[in-house]
Amino acid sequence: MDILLLSLTAFGGPQVHLMMMIERLVRKRRYITEEELLELQALCQILPGPSSTQTVTAIGLKIGGQPLAYLTLIVWSIPAMVLMTVAAIGIHYLESKSISLDFTKFVGPMAVAFLMYGASSIARRVIHNTQGWTFLIISTILAYLYPSPYMTPVLIVLGGVAASLNFKKHEKMDKAPIRVKWRPIIFWISVLVAAAIVGKVTNSLPVRLFENFYRNGSLVFGGGQVLIPILYNEFVEFKHYLTDQEFLAGMALTQVVPGPVFSIATFVGSVSLQTHGIFGQIVGGFVATAGIFLPGTFFIFFAYPFWDQLKKYRGIRASLEGIHAASCGLTIAAAILLFQPMMTDRQPLFTVIVTMLVLTFTKTPSYLIIIVGLVLGLVT
C-alpha cells in the first residue's frame, strides 16, 4: 500500500522520489534505515536501468526477497503505465479525427527545456575533471553526427573502459572474495537472446518492440533523462515510429504523470503500435513497460548480494566517470537535435528560454509548468 501511494504521488524524478521514500518508508514506516536506503540508491545509480524503480525493488528484495521485489515493481510501475497508455491512445484518437494538436505547441518546447536542464544538472553533479568533460564533448559530437541506436552502447562502453584505465587515482580498499550468483545474469541474457531470435523469426512487431526496449533498458545509465535521447534516436530518427511532435508530447506528459520517468517508454511503445488499433496500443504499452523495467530488476538481483565487495574495486569506481559522461553527452545531443527546428521560430524559442529560467531560478514543480503550457495552448 505504501508503494502504491508513492506511485500515485511521486512527481519530479529520482531526486524527489528519494526524499518521498525517506519520508514514508524510513521515517514513518521504519522498513529500513536512512543509511540503508541511501546505500541501495547508490547501488542503483551505478547499474543500468531506472534508478527509482530499482531502489523500490531493492527495498522489496531486502525486506521480503524476490517475491516481494517483483510485487513492488508491479505496484510501482502500473499507475504510470496505465496513464501513459491512455495518453497515447488519446493522442492517436485526436490525430485520427484530424483534431489539431496545436494546444501542445508550448508543451513540446517545454519538454526540450526539461531535457536541457536535466542534462546540465546531471553533468554538474557527476563530472568533476577534465577527463570527464572531454568524454562528454566527444560523446555529444558523435551522438549528434551519428544519431543511431547502435551508437548508444558503443559510447557508454567506450566511456567506461577509457575511464577505468585511470583506476590508480582511486584509493585502495580491502577486498574479500566475491561470491557471485549468476542465475539473474543468465536469465537476463536468456530473455534478450530469446526475444531477438523470436522477433527475427516471426517478424512480430510486439516481440521486436519488447526486444528493443529490453535492450535499451539494459544499457541506460543515469535515469530517465538519459533514456529519452536513446528512445528518440531509435524510434523517431531511425525507425520513424513516432513524429517529433508525438515524442515531445510524450516527454512532456512524463512530467505530469506520477511514478517513474521511464514511463516515457510506455508511451513510445503504445504509439508505435497505433496502426493496430486500441488493443494494439495497449499491447505496445505493456511490452514496452515490461521490456524497459525487467533488465534493471535482474541487475538488482545479481548485484545486491555482493555490492559491498564490488564497490571496493578501483576499476569499477573509475569506470563510472566515463559512463556518466557518455550518458550526459547522449542527452545533450538529443536536446540539440530536438531544439534545432525550434531555433527559427520565436514562440518555441522563447518558450524554451523562459522554461529554462523558471527551472533554474525557481522551485516550481515540473507538472505545474506543463499544465500551464497546456492551458496557454488552449487559450491562444
- In this predicted structure, the answer to whether residue 21 has a pLDDT above a threshold of 70 is yes
- Please write the tens of the pLDDT for every residue from 34-70: 777 776 766 776 677 787 888 889 888 888 888 898 8
* Alpha-carbon gap, residue 155 to 158, rounded angstroms: 5
- Predicted pLDDT of residue 12: 56
For residue 202, how far is the Cα from the chain centroid? 29
- What angle (nearest 5°) sits at the alpha carbon of residue 102, between those of residues 96 and 106? 135
- Predicted pLDDT of residue 289: 94
If pLDDT is split at 50, 70 and 90, which confidence band does 311 have? low
- In this predicted structure, the answer to whether residue 366 has a pLDDT above a threshold of 90 is no
DSSP 39-60: HHHHHHHHSSS-HHHHHHHHHH
| CA dist 60 → 4, 69, 79, 109 (Å) | 13, 4, 18, 38
Cell numbers at 20, concatenated: 518521498
If pLDDT is split at 50, 70 and 90, which confidence band does 304 have? confident
- Predicted pLDDT of residue 93: 83
Q: Which residue has the higher pLDDT, 366 or 65?
A: 65
- In this predicted structure, the answer to whether residue 242 has a pLDDT above a threshold of 70 is yes
Alpha helix segments (H runs only) across the chain: 2-9, 14-21, 34-46, 51-96, 107-126, 130-145, 151-164, 183-202, 205-217, 224-231, 244-256, 264-272, 277-303, 307-310, 314-339, 346-361, 366-379
- Predicted pLDDT of residue 100: 65
Q: Are 260 and 196 in contact (CB under 8 A)?
A: no
- Predicted pLDDT of residue 194: 94
- Predicted pLDDT of residue 15: 55
- Please write the tens of the pLDDT for every residue from 69-102: 889 989 998 988 999 999 899 888 887 777 666 6
- Predicted pLDDT of residue 207: 94
Instruction: Identify the burial level of 313 via C-beta atoms within 10 angstroms of its C-beta, where 0-12 means exposed, 13-18 middle and 19 or more buried.
Output: middle
- Please write the tens of the pLDDT for every residue from 284-302: 999 999 999 999 899 988 8
- In this predicted structure, the answer to whether residue 213 has a pLDDT above a threshold of 80 is yes
- Predicted pLDDT of residue 11: 62
- In this predicted structure, the answer to whether residue 203 has a pLDDT above a threshold of 60 is yes
